[in-house]
Structure 1
Amino acid sequence: MDLTTTYLGLKLDNPIIAGSSGLSDSVEKVQKLEQSGAGAIVLKSIFEEEIVFELEDILKEAEAAGVNLDQFDYYDFHLKGEKVKTYIDLIKGSKAKVSIPIIASINCVYSHDWISFAQQIEDAGADAIELNMFFLPSDFSRSGQEQERLYFTIIEKLLDTVRIPVALKISYYFSSLGRMIERLSKTGVSGLVLFNRFFSPDIDIDKLAVKPSFVLSSPGDLAISLRWIAIMANKVGCDLAASTGVHDGNAVVKQILAGAKAVQVVSSLYKNGPEHLRVMKDRLTQWMKEKGHNNLSDFRGKMSQEAASNPAVYERVQFMKYFS
């Protein structure tokens, strides 16, 4: 079976991507993911706060030491940052040791002060950048239109800075999700990842403290991305990748049937180990043989809303018969 696909203009041996996590935060772990069968790897995210705060600390130290800041540009200071240098070294080391695409990841939370750092990512040899961007709609002083405009402002600045492909990983928290996905897909990004997974707070009722909850996804989380991959297939101007809830080979098949070019896996690898990538890939191959498909394009999008025998089923949001 031919499992190859293209994603962000990159050729992948198979559509299963190891998503950004602690499983890809070292060269050794990246090598393990490749050996286990990953089609591509998204490196552990570097957060915008880490970049910006580190730069601010360096500037303060330089100023206190009497350095004339006008003599140095952004990159001179940035390269001295420990976290930034470590991330650049991770990209370079990974590219030297593996042959599959390496995608750098930036977790963007509020501004665009970090964008110049993207040039260093490109110079380090990353094959693409995945921008994980989400602004929690909790700022009551900012309208929904202002909130959404930030996405386009940052994307425009990033695309003006780098030449390598850019993927945007987004959430489903938009007032008009379908329209927003369509608009974002036409900005010049090479791909959209549906959807990112958030830190979810919980309350410890004994210690009266806020703690994280539901860190890992479950197979049931597949439904949200599956619906929107199916709805948006053939309605976007870039590749679509599915994320969250992909725990086995059957889920990979479903997302490709819905129209995804690739899928991202994280939680299942934490639960089952990187070797689970090969199990998922084997199941995809087995299913293709059973159905008589020789390559992914034979069935990609076959169950999208556009191609489904009952397109309205993807629009339904309320139960009617299930509990009757």
Structure 2
Amino acid sequence: MADLKTKYMGLELRSPIIAGSCGLTSDVEKMVEMEKAGVGAVVLKSIFEEQINEETSGVFKAGYGMSDAYPEAEDYIKTYIRSNTIQKYVELVRNAKSRLTIPVIASVNCFSGGEWISFASQLEEAGADALELNVFILPVNEFRESAEVENVYFEIVKSIKSQIKIPVSVKISHYFTNLSAFVDKIKAYGANATTLFNRFYEPDININTLEMGAASVFSTAAELRTTLRWTGILAGKDKKLEISASTGVHGGEAAVKLLLAGATTVQVCSVLYEKGIHVIEDINNFIGKWMDTKAFKTIGDYRGMLSYSSIENPDLYERAQFMKYFSNKQY
């Protein structure tokens, strides 16, 4: 019978399927349900640096701070809002750890270094088994060199790792000139794993009202392709790199593909909303039955079997142009 147990950042997981950071993982009862369905670990809903900054600035825009008359009040209120938000998140970690037996991974969405990351030690003390850093810096400043942008990521990782002992994964996008080199440096700065990829807020335009809005927040199965490509390439180039593959995973087949490409774990999110938490059990069952048909006993028996360096023609991962793919086809 297939054994789905695996290790991720040194943590023992009963399944490679992880519930990714989302609204559902801010609810302890939902996470208990996920554990019963067979998930290997949960990543808590992110605490956002940007959200805290906006909440504090919103107070003063509304005129509650009276910072012109009492400048010290602004610092006090900012500190209070920040501390209160962080304390609520710390309590979420504690509550999750008290109810769950599976690993609980805290999540921080940040775009700068400095004092913001100092509270990571509070998450460790609260019992978080690991920390996922969700970092994305949109390079809109044309006077800022790409190396400067990348250095912010490295400084965040280095600072976090200097403060905590629990493992750290860095959740990134694929918007880098040389993703392989970037991931290699992230690892060199101390990251224990990399999550591919974070899913962003995407803008949309309503042509009837002539207003800007938000596109759908959920992924589609078609988005698996980018995740699959880079999982295979990066896992093939570094056999020791731990990858948690995310975005586009809507069923057991997608999970198996990512494991074959070299993923250590696979994160699900959108599908939990669309099909319900019970889909975790369906995905695990699919993986187990597929392994039985192929006579694989453990995840390690086939993980990375079809990564970049393991297949006869790695060009299949590199092909980017439509015509290049069809250039040898005869019609």
Instruction: Tell me how many residue pairs correspond in the alignment.
Output: 317
State the partner residue of 1:208: 210
Q: Which residue of 130, 133, 139 corresponds with 1:131?
A: 133
TM-score (norm 1): 0.91
- Aligned pairs (5 A) from 1:48-87: 48-52=49-53, 81-87=83-89
Letter in 1 for 2:275: N
Aligned partners of 1:78 and 1:84 also within 8 Å: no
State the distance in 2 between where 1:126 and 1:4 align: 20
CA contact (8 A) 1:259 1:303 kept: yes
Q: Cα deviation per residue 1:28-83 (whole Å; 9 max; x = unaligned)?
A: 1211111121100000000012345667879x79995979x9xx9xxxx5697332
Query: Given residue 321 of structure 1, which amino acid in structure 2 is its aligned partner?
Result: F
> Which position in structure 1 is the counterpart of 2:6?
5
| Residues 1:314 and 2:309 are matched in the alignment | no
Note closer, same or farther for the CA distance 1:269–1:163 as it changes in structure 2 (3 Å cut). Answer: same
Q: Counterpart in 2 of 1:46?
A: 47
Amino acid at match of 1:187: Y
Task: Decide whether aligned partners of structure 1 residues 80 and 141 sit closer, same or farther in structure 2, where only a CA change above 3 A counts.
Answer: closer
Q: Deviations over 1:183-210 (max 9, x none)?
A: 2122211110011111100011122211
**Contact 1:54–1:81, Cα closer than 8 Å, also in 2:** no
Unaligned runs of 5+ in 2: none
Structure 1 residue identity aligned to 2:291: M
| Equivalent-residue separation in structure 2 for 1:53 and 1:159 (angstroms) | 27
More helix by share: 2
The aligned amino acid for 1:37 is: G
Residue 241 of structure 1 aligns to a residue in which SS?
strand
* Runs of at least 4 residues off by over 6 Å: 54-58, 60-63
Q: For residue 263 of structure 1, what is the aligned residue in structure 2?
A: 266
Native 8 Å contact 2:112 2:156 kept in 1: no
Q: Is the 8 A contact 2:52 2:81 kept in 1?
A: no
Aligned equivalents of 2:292, 2:285: Cα separation in 1: 11
Corresponding position of 1:15? 16
State the AA in 2 paired with 1:22. G
Contact 2:223 2:248 in 1 (8 A): yes
Residue 253 of structure 1 corresponds to 256
* Kept in 1: contact 2:204–2:212 (CA 8 A): yes
List alignment gaps of at least 5 residues for structure 1. Answer: none
Percent identity of paired positions between Structure 1 and Structure 2: 41
1:61/1:284 CA distance change after superposition, 3 Å: farther
| Structure 1 residue 122: Cα displacement | 0.7
Matched residue of 1:118: which SS?
helix
1:241–1:260: 8 Å Cα contact kept in structure 2? yes
Paired amino acid for 1:129: L
Partner of 1:284: 287
- Equivalent runs, 1:16-31 vs 2, <5 Å: 16-31=17-32
Residue 300 (structure 2) aligns with? 297
- Whichever residue aligns with residue 87 of structure 2, its letter is K
